[in-house]
A and B are shown apart, each in its own frame.
Chain A
Amino acid sequence: QSALTQPASVSGSPGQSITISCTGTSSDVGGYNYVTWYQQLPGKAPKLLIYEVSNRPSGVTNRFSGSKSGNTASLTISGLQAEDEADYYCNSYTSSHSWVFGGGTKLTVL
């Protein structure tokens, strides 16, 4: 199972919006609404941000939103803040009854 494709890095200024893409295939992202996004702050464990494409767990700010079109899922962060600087990973359930992560995207807040 190949890793999902994410941009290695994105950047934005405080207050701006950015979008991180996550491209897979019809056997994973495109085939299921089980796309999840995780935020990993430096030196910390990943934290659940978005599940089932667009749902936020309680406690996650509505500045984070998710969507999907075909084989590509997206995470949008609006109103960028310095504390959003982290690595972001997408994840999808697959037709092999397994899970696959994206390669990760490093977000820099300028």
Chain B
Amino acid sequence: QVQLVQSGSELRKPGASVKVSCKASGYIFTTYSMNWVRQAPGQGLEWMGWIDTNTGNPTYGQGFTGRFVFSLDTSVSTAYLQISSLKAEDTAVYYCAMSSGYLFDQWGQGTLVIVSS
């Protein structure tokens, strides 16, 4: 069955970087795009952008340009989210979600990133 498994929780200091992974299984990785969604503590869902798993071309949502980078390693069916120059307000759960069209079919379990000195 389709499954997205994300890397574990991370604790970083302000100014540091973090890389979150999302390993896909149960389908052909390059068939569906991968989205990233942020959820700050006690807050709603926020779409961050998506990456075309066929071409590797990323598209960033409003507010997620500059410090956020989406990447892939298709050899291991894995998508990555890297955030640099971390700020306290980046503290959130980050989800990957595969998309077969105009919907997010399947979600990873989420990765909690805590930014604190």
Contact = CB atoms under 8 A, between A and B. Distances in A.
Given A1-B62, A45-B95, A100 B47 contact: yes
A104 B61 CA distance: 19
Contacts, number: 59
Contacts of A89: 44-45
Interface in B61-117: 61-62, 95, 97, 102-110
A102 B102 contact: no
Interface in A48-88: 48, 51-52, 57
Given A3-B44, A104-B45, A99 B107 contact: no
Given A98-B61, A98-B62, A48 B103 contact: yes
B46 interface: yes
B53 interface: no
Contacts of B49: 98
Interface of B: 35, 37, 44-47, 49, 59, 61-62, 95, 97, 102-110
